[in-house]
Amino acid sequence: MKDTPLSNCERDFLLKAIEEKKRLDGRQTYDYRNIKLRFGADYGCCIVDLGKTRVMAQVSCELVTPKESRPNEGILFFNLELSPMASPAFELGRSSELLVKLNRQLERCLRNSHCIDTESLCVVSGEKVWQIRVDVHMLNHDGNLMDATSIAAIAALSHFKRPDVGVQGDQVTVYSPEERNPIALSIYHMPICVSLSFFQQGTYLLVDPCEREERVMDGLLMITMNKHREICSIQSSGGIMLLKEQAMTEITDLIMRALENDKKTRKEGGKCGFAEYMPLARITVNTTDDTSVDMTGPVVVISDSEDEEDVVILHPETL
């Protein structure tokens, strides 16, 4: 299923608003939407909200045989899923151009930038290494999936802890968390992707485009940087000639604060996990307020029949 096309009126309205430096949600040209990070009860699970765009990343690990070309390095594997729950335009289990582009960009962002020490994942050279798997699920699509995906993936990797292992001769023992404390991954830096969309052949620029803005853009530039302002990767689409621009790196500080708060909560024995973020006054939590019913007046009962609609008025003394 494809996206429902915009009408000419909607397209003209969006482009006119961009020319006047106005956006649908009231943001300025270089404003990012609000970012929220939440960690699950288990290590390595993270949900990121970028405005109304929501992405969940789950990190897992297993012992595997290393690649012959890199016998002393662990493996970092990414798996993305575009669920119909996120958008009617996504089809479950079917690869699309967007899915391939997101997967390749995420690999460039995290694996090719060497942000993780893969040599520390080696258990026995040439025989056993850790394979770190990052599953990313799109829960709601409102534009800029790449930025939300990169934030969720690096935050989940930073939050994840693998089991400790012991090697005696040819025997490898994997210890449970009760026997030995799990070990965090060695992360050198946090590459963050920042997307910039271009309109009217590069005349106008917007940071963090929403879903409707993405429909009318002419080109997209995705810059991956860390807080040291080192460019990890650049991906451009649309054939727009671009000038040198400055990308934001404040997101790294946000991830670090979220990780520190989660660590402090677990250390103090506080409650953690997604259940703690559930609202308590919503119909989704199966709670309703008691409402009194006035039975002193007449009760109106409406019944539909095949011929006509019947209205019956019952008085309390007749009940």
Q: What is the pLDDT, as a whole number, of residue 297?
A: 53
Q: How far apart are CA 35 and CA 17, in angstroms?
A: 24
Residue 6 has pLDDT above 70, yes or no: yes
User: Which range, of 4-8, 222-226, 298-302, averages the lowest pLDDT?
Assistant: 298-302
Question: In terms of C-beta density within 10 A (0-12 exposed, 13-18 middle, 19 or more buried), how is residue 181 classed?
Answer: exposed
User: Residue 58's domain spans which residues?
Assistant: 8-293
Q: How far apart are CA 154 and CA 133, in angstroms?
A: 12
Note whether 194 and 250 are within 8 A (CB): no
Closest by CA to 237, choosing from 222, 220, 224, 215, is 220
Ramachandran sector of residue 107 (left: φ over 0; alpha: ψ -120 to 50; beta: rest): alpha
Q: How confident is the model at residue 243 (pLDDT cuts 50, 70, 90)?
A: very low
71-99 average pLDDT score: 87
Judge whether 216 lies within some domain: yes
Note whether 153 and 78 are within 8 A (CB): yes
Note whether 259 and 157 are within 8 A (CB): no
Q: How far apart are CA 78 and CA 222, in angstroms?
A: 19
Give the β-pairing of 45-50 and 35-39: antiparallel
Distance of CA 108 to the CA centre of its chain: 17
Domain count, the chain: 1
Tell me the helices (H) and strands (E) count for the chain, helix number first: 5, 16
Judge whether 315 lies within some domain: no
Q: What is the pLDDT, as a whole number, of residue 228?
A: 84
Question: What is the gyration radius of the CA atoms in the chain, in angstroms?
Answer: 26
Judge whether 21 lies within some domain: yes
- Paired strand residues for 205: 198
Judge whether 255 lies within some domain: yes
Judge whether 303 lies within some domain: no
Q: How far apart are CA 44 and CA 48, in angstroms?
A: 13
Convert the pLDDT of each residue in 182-211 to its tens digit. Answer: 999 999 999 989 888 888 877 788 889 999
Judge whether 77 lies within some domain: yes
Q: How confident is the model at residue 247 (pLDDT cuts 50, 70, 90)?
A: very low
Judge whether 318 lies within some domain: no
Convert the pLDDT of each residue in 30-47 to its tens digit. Answer: 888 999 999 998 899 999
Judge whether 304 lies within some domain: no
User: Which range, of 63-77, 140-154, 171-185, 285-299, averages the lowest pLDDT?
Assistant: 285-299
Q: pTM of this prediction?
A: 0.76
**Which CATH number characterizes residue 96's domain?**
3.30.230.70
Note whether 242 and 236 are within 8 A (CB): yes
